[in-house]
Chain A
Amino acid sequence: MALSGMRGLSVFISDVRNCQNKDQERLRVDKELGNIRTRFKNEKGLSPYEKKKYVWKMLYIFMLGYDVDFGHMEAVSLISAPKYPEKQVGYIVTSCLLNENHDFLRLAINTVRNDIIGRNETFQCLALTMVGNIGGRDFAESLAPDVQKLLISSSCRPLVRKKAALCLLRLFRKNPDVVNVDGWVDRMAQLLDERDLGVLTSSMSLLVALVSNNHEAYWSCLPKCVKTLERLARNQDIPQEYTYYGIPSPWLQVKTMRALQYFPTIEDPNTRRSLFEVLQRILMGTDVVKNVNKNNASHAVLFEALALVMHLDAEKEMMSQCVALLGKFIAVREPNIRYLGLENMTRMLLVTDVQDIIKRHQAQIITSLKDPDISIRRRALDLLYGMCDITNAKDIVEELLQYLSTAEFAMREELSLKAAILAEKFAPDLSWYVDVILQLIDKAGDFVSDDIWFRVVQFVTNNEDLQPYAAAKAREYLDKPAIHETMVKVSAYLLGEFGHLLARRPGCSPKELFSIIHEKLPTVLSSTIPILLSTYAKILMHTQPPDPELQNQIWGIFNKYESCIDAEIQQRAVEYHALSRKGASLMDILAEMPKFPERQSALIKKAEDTEVDTAEQSAIKLRAQQQMSSALVVTDQRPANGTPSGIQLSLVKVPSMSINEDQNMAEQGLSHENGILSKVDPQTPSADLLGDLLGPLAIEGPPGTDVQSQQNIVSGLENVPNTVEAAAIVPVEEQTNSVQIGIKAEWRAHQGRVVLFLGNKNTSPLVSVHAIILPPSHLKIELSLVPDTIPPRAQVQCPLEVVNLRPSRDVAVLDFSYKFGNNMVNAKLRLPAVLNKFLHPISVSGDEFFPQWRSLSGPPLKLQEVVRGVRPMPLLDMANLFNSFRLMVSPGLDPNPNNLVASTTYYSESTRPMLCLIRIETDPADRTQLRMTVASGDPTLTFELKEFIKEQLVSIPTALRSPMAATPAPPIPQPTSPAAALTDPGAMLAGLL
């Protein structure tokens, strides 16, 4: 029976099938579309049969992937046909042709509603099916109550009610705010007593959506779920037609166990006991049988049971039983079971105390890494990554490296990132780490992101013992005939810095090093050349006594690149050339890079970020299940191995940069941002850029007690007063970092928009989350609603609106509390809404400055104070500091070179923008004291600003800023230039010269 029953349709389908190629097919389709279009135009002549036929043809064409931009109206109009055959076609075609966002659907709402509330149950079914498949907000608004009525109506037959249940599920998932389910607990409980298993299956799906949204309300359904599961698992009273290969509806069993996983625990001991009995029965009673379908069905149930056992945190015995089962599964031949075994074992890693048992299966898992099936290899890779620790890192990473050479492209990137992270996290010794990374670059250079080699450079720079070893290794790789660009970069960098440590070894004289590196120059991209030039400059500097021949050679190269079109290369060539003629000063400037400040690995951070991303995704998914559009976004995935942003590069180019400079930079980036904010929508990419810029500043508190972490936060804030923007603060659960709070802020005039990121790093939800802002009287802060629960591994964002009313140095405090297990955790965190956020730098000329200065005479508008105990710093640093606080320094305004004059505008709601003028007089003989004069049109402002600046001058962290003295040059205060310019060593050197 291969005929559609509609001759015209069959003929058309045959025609399309007979087309030899895509072009012919398109011609045939276009012809048909033209035909349909004309027929629809003269609609009068169309019989219902013809209309049906053409609408089906349209659907067929649409299904093949062609655009059909007409005829939607005809399809929709069939819905209102009085007869079943037309109506049926109308409903089905409409639900395939249109999606929930389509305007045409609105036209149909009335008809659909009439069908739903009408008496004809076949019409009811059609309408419920369509709404269940594509119903959007409009449908939810006008139909939800009717659908609810049908679901619980005693006069409706099961065939209508099961459709009503799923239709309601859809409406609720998409628009939980529209569908009113208050008081549905009892109804749901009633539905779970349903005898008809079709209705019960649909209702169970509905329950899953409802409990995932609000499990607390549905406690009373829990025992019923357990009862249902018992009934199914024991095969009591299950009609034959609801068994599938002898198994009582495996789907309903799975659904029921899914619903149970949304309840955090089961308190009632009896319910718990009977549930565990059932689970035990499933775990032990599932055998492998010959029939594939029976096997699949029983294992679907088994794996769901495993998930439920894990969720319920069962007794140790049962857990080890689970691990034993999984251990069996990962060794079977059947690929599906092996895949699921690996997948679930990865989930199992989150359960405490079983890691050691899982480790016993390491060899088996490594075999799966060589499986012909990429899906299985992916699972194996994830599992190995998850189970890796200090004891097995060497083995696992070496396996990964070995696999890297044969792995397909789709996996190499992930593989190399994971190998790099594991090597860093669990390196038994650092030389092994260097080996691993260099091998990684050698084998899969294309997939090694810059982060990876930046990190190895940081390690080597910070560990003197490692330097000769790393340099020697780099030298070895250079002997290879063809090496990857990244290898050129890293070895050139390492040899430039540490090559001189090898001087006595064969083949490592400066000349030899130079020539072997220089050999690579013709093959590299222009982005690598600057690194090579730095290396040459360093080699030159290390060649003592100078070798005139080498010098001439290198000068020749600098000379050649002095006219290079690439500005970076040109600048370096010019500067190095000039520097290298200066003799002694070269030594200072090109001296070895100082140690990097200890910071979180960009890699690990990236890995965590992607985890957060995925957590966010799943949180979104979770929400989507409850509400809206679960459509996946079909865009190209951003490669994890993204192009390096300027800031990352700068970490290596200017390793001397201390954290503080980072902050300044970020700050300046920010003020820059602020400068143009008036035109910029806060949602523009520049805001994201800002986020990226601030990213590295996230400060994570070390594990400790709450009190400690709070101190951390506070000291964090005090130490780095101008970074508060990005203070990511971590109140800490005993031993584990459970919560991460981050901040992103934008400031504009007297207003600010701050977004708090509350991240739950646990695998269980955080409950009873409360966040209250205790604003000081001068700030008006509105915190949007903070959800009561943060789902596991998810992040929620809470926007805050800040309005500055009056000048004050008081700081707003976030009072944050949540419940973890049975403990209430509370933390008070200072928010970065400080005085200088409401400043806007303004440059003032001498003509403007002096009359103002004079007109504001004496207290209280003008205040003067001698400040002692100032941290001594060069004037230039102080100017930077001021600029970073958005107090714009006007150089040269004060004739005395030891003085500094700055101006800014202050914004608050109650006053007009106020000009503030500041003068600092320093004493070159004693840098620990200075005289400060602050003037503005408002006495309070003058006082507060003076105190604010004083605090900053006195409390600057010595430890962090001191390396500055040793660095080539401080960053140049140019608030208006892009932050990137500051990271450029060339620019810095230019400043020095």
Chain B
Amino acid sequence: MIHFVLLISRQGKVRLTKWYSPYTQKERTKVLRELSGVILTRGPKLCNFVEWRGYKVVYKRYASLYFCMCIDEEDNELEILEIIHHYVEILDRYFGSVCELDLIFNFHKAYYILDELLIAGELQESSKKTVARLIAAQDSLVEAAKEQRSSISNIIAQATK
């Protein structure tokens, strides 16, 4: 299973963290510090796996962002590597050529999308189309509520005029 997902920038800034196993905030900070130390210093032509504390961290760099997932030693590394890519492709489709800034300012969207992809550290959906459809449906629900609200406030505004 995936124990956690980290998005770290090349400068070591945290862009997203999602923990599927219970860690205290102190432990989380420690994990982040250790892993950025290990992963950000690795050269470009090395493999995508790092052995760490009896676990494995599968990571991949996309432009300035490192996507990392921590798994059990006996899990299938390549499968996880492609879950990362799958996630990136979905983000890409959603944001339209995603860049780090998109994820910084829309980190909550990145969370929504991740939740459609993984639950309990396991892959939930492998169809990009389905994920895109579900996210779009959520967005429209939020929009609808917004419109409704503004129309209500219009009515109230009119009534109290």
Chain A interface residues (CB < 8 Å from chain B) = 1-5, 10, 13, 17, 56, 59-60, 62-65, 67, 83-85, 88-89, 92, 96, 99-101, 122, 128-129, 132-134, 159, 162-163, 166-167, 169-170, 173, 197-198, 201-202, 205, 239, 241-242, 244, 249-252, 254, 258, 293, 296-297, 299-300, 303-304, 335-336, 338-340, 372-373, 375-376, 378, 614, 617-618, 621, 625, 629-632, 634, 637
Contact = CB atoms under 8 A, between A and B. Distances in A.
B54 A299 contact: no
B72 to A, nearest CB: 6
Interface residues of B, number: 74
Chain A interface main SS type: helix
B62 interface: no
A130 B142 CA distance: 19
Nearest to A99: B22
Nearest to A410: B38
Given A128-B119, A251-B82, 20 more contacts: A62-B25, A63-B14, A64-B14, A65-B28, A83-B145, A96-B18, A99-B24, A133-B18, A251-B126, A293-B82, A300-B77, A300-B78, A304-B76, A373-B47, A614-B54, A618-B73, A629-B21, A631-B21, A631-B22, A637-B53
B45 interface: yes
B39 to A, nearest CB: 11
Interface in B101-148: 101-102, 104-108, 111-112, 115, 119-120, 122-130, 134, 137-138, 141-142, 145-146
A960 B46 CA distance: 56
A332 to B, nearest CB: 11
B126 A101 contact: no
Contacts of A134: 22
Contact of B122 (A205, A338, A630): A205
B126 A242 contact: yes
A254 B51 CA distance: 21
A270 to B, nearest CB: 28
Interface in B27-59: 27-32, 42-43, 45-51, 53-55
A244 B81 contact: no
A372 B41 CA distance: 13
B85 interface: yes
B126 A201 contact: yes
Contacts of B96: 1
A92 B119 contact: no
Contacts of B128: 241
Contacts of A621: 72
A262 to B, nearest CB: 12
A335 B47 contact: yes
Contacts of B53: 632, 634, 637
A145 B141 CA distance: 29
Nearest to A10: B105
A13 B77 CA distance: 34
A617 B85 CA distance: 30
Contacts of B23: 99, 631, 634
B51 to A, nearest CB: 6
Contacts of A205: 122-123
A10 B108 CA distance: 12
Contacts of A128: 119
A304 B146 CA distance: 48
B124 A166 contact: yes
A739 to B, nearest CB: 23
A480 to B, nearest CB: 35
A296 B78 contact: yes
B134 A625 contact: no
B142 A84 contact: yes
A378 B51 CA distance: 9
B82 A13 contact: no
B48 A336 contact: yes
A167 B79 CA distance: 21
Interface string B65-95: 0000000111011110111011000000001
Contacts of A92: 108, 111-112, 115
A31 B16 CA distance: 22
Contacts of A132: 119-120
B123 to A, nearest CB: 5
Given A13-B105, A85-B145, A631-B23, A242 B127 contact: yes
B3 interface: yes
Contact of A631 (B3, B81, B145): B3
A133 B20 contact: yes
A785 B120 CA distance: 31
B115 A122 contact: no
A310 to B, nearest CB: 12
B108 A2 contact: no
A667 B50 CA distance: 45
Would you list the 4 A-B pairs with minimal beta carbon distance, nearest first? A300-B78, A335-B47, A170-B120, A132-B119
B124 A198 contact: yes
A745 B129 CA distance: 61
A530 B30 CA distance: 41
Contacts of B134: 159
A373 B49 CA distance: 10
A2 B78 contact: no
A166 B46 contact: no
A249 B22 contact: no
B105 A300 contact: no
Most B C-beta atoms less than 10 A away, residue of A17, A129, A338, A625: A129
B127 A251 contact: no
B101 A2 contact: yes
Contact of A129 (B77, B115, B142): B115
A575 B107 CA distance: 73
Contacts of A250: 79, 82
A147 to B, nearest CB: 12
A336 B145 contact: no
Contact of A336 (B20, B81, B104): B81
A830 to B, nearest CB: 37
B17 A63 contact: yes
A543 B135 CA distance: 89
A92 to B, nearest CB: 5
B119 A170 contact: yes
Contacts of A88: 112, 138, 142
B9 to A, nearest CB: 11
B125 A198 contact: yes
A340 B145 contact: no
24 contacts: A2-B99, A4-B105, A4-B106, A59-B108, A62-B25, A63-B17, A85-B142, A96-B19, A99-B22, A99-B24, A133-B115, A133-B119, A159-B130, A169-B120, A169-B122, A202-B122, A241-B129, A251-B79, A296-B81, A338-B47, A631-B3, A632-B54, A634-B23, A637-B53
Contact of B86 (A62, A173, A244, A303): A244
A56 B146 CA distance: 17
B7 to A, nearest CB: 10
Given A1-B96, A375-B47, A129 B126 contact: no
Contacts of A617: 54
A340 B77 contact: yes
Contacts of B142: 84-85, 88
Contacts of A170: 119-120
A824 B107 CA distance: 59
Given A17-B104, A133-B119, A254-B76, A376 B47 contact: yes
A630 B3 contact: yes
A239 B99 CA distance: 30
A170 to B, nearest CB: 4
Contact of B105 (A2, A63, A631, A637): A2
Nearest to B43: A372
B33 to A, nearest CB: 9
B159 to A, nearest CB: 18
Contacts of B137: 122
Contact of B102 (A2, A169, A303, A338): A2
Contact of B130 (A100, A198, A252): A198
Contacts of A17: 104
B126 A197 contact: yes
A375 B107 contact: no
